[in-house]
């Protein structure tokens, strides 16, 4: 059986691989211990996707579980518009779009395509501003880079690589105050 990578962890891996470990350690605890306002708000507005009430259009597909055998990925999409062949990832607020977020969108697209859906457009939808932010479809070279990234993810061994502490990233990590790798305090207090 393949070990699938959760699409939601791709951005976390780029941000800090150790945060994936911390997430798994604390996921069964009270989220108020580590969730900051952005995560709480994001979870709250995401409920309309999970409950499939964000759209009542017959051609909109909401909260579809997706997977890719080729890439060994699994996850769930937010919104796929069949008529437009458009995949949309909803975020409450996007001050900056990071490469890991792009990789998550590409991963969802690759899963959908492998499952037989046609995807011709990608976008982020920023809920707080009601703004659609188009994302270019990946080039062949970008897909090769993405595949190498997935391989690095699979081969990652913290005992061999070590944990790189970046104080700026640590201050913006929701697990910062629970992390044994830093003495920083997060900005959410």
Strand partners, 135: 122
DSSP bridge pairs for 121: 86
Strand partners of residue 68: 73
Q: Is the dihedral of CA 153, 154, 158, 161 positive or negative?
A: negative
Q: Does this model's pTM top 0.75?
A: yes
Q: How many CB atoms are located within 10 Å of the residue 40 CB? A: 12
List the end-to-end C-alpha distance of the chain, in Å, as a whole number: 42
Averaged over 66-82, what is the pLDDT? 97
In tens, the pLDDT along 110-158 reads 999 999 999 999 999 999 999 999 999 999 999 999 999 999 999 998 8
């Amino acid at each position: 059986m393949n070990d699938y990578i959760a699409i939601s962890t791709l951005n976390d891996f780029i941000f800090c691989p150790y945060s994936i470990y911390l997430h798994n350690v604390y996921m069964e605890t009270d989220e108020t211990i580590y969730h900051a306002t952005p995560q709480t708000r994001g979870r709250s507005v995401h409920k309309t996707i999970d409950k499939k009430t964000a759209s009542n259009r017959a051609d909109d597909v909401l909260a579809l579980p997706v997977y890719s055998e080729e890439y060994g990925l699994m996850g769930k999409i937010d919104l796929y518009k069949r008529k437009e062949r458009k995949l949309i990832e909803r975020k409450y607020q996007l001050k900056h779009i990071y490469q890991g977020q792009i990789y998550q969108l590409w991963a969802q697209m690759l899963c959908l395509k492998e499952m037989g859906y046609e995807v011709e457009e990608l976008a982020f939808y920023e809920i707080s501003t009601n703004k659609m932010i188009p994302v270019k479809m990946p080039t062949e070279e970008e897909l090769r880079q993405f595949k190498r990234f997935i391989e690095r993810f699979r081969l990652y061994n913290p005992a061999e690589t070590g944990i790189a502490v970046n104080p700026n990233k640590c201050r913006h990590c929701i697990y910062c105050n629970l992390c044994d790798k830093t003495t920083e305090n997060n900005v959410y207090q």
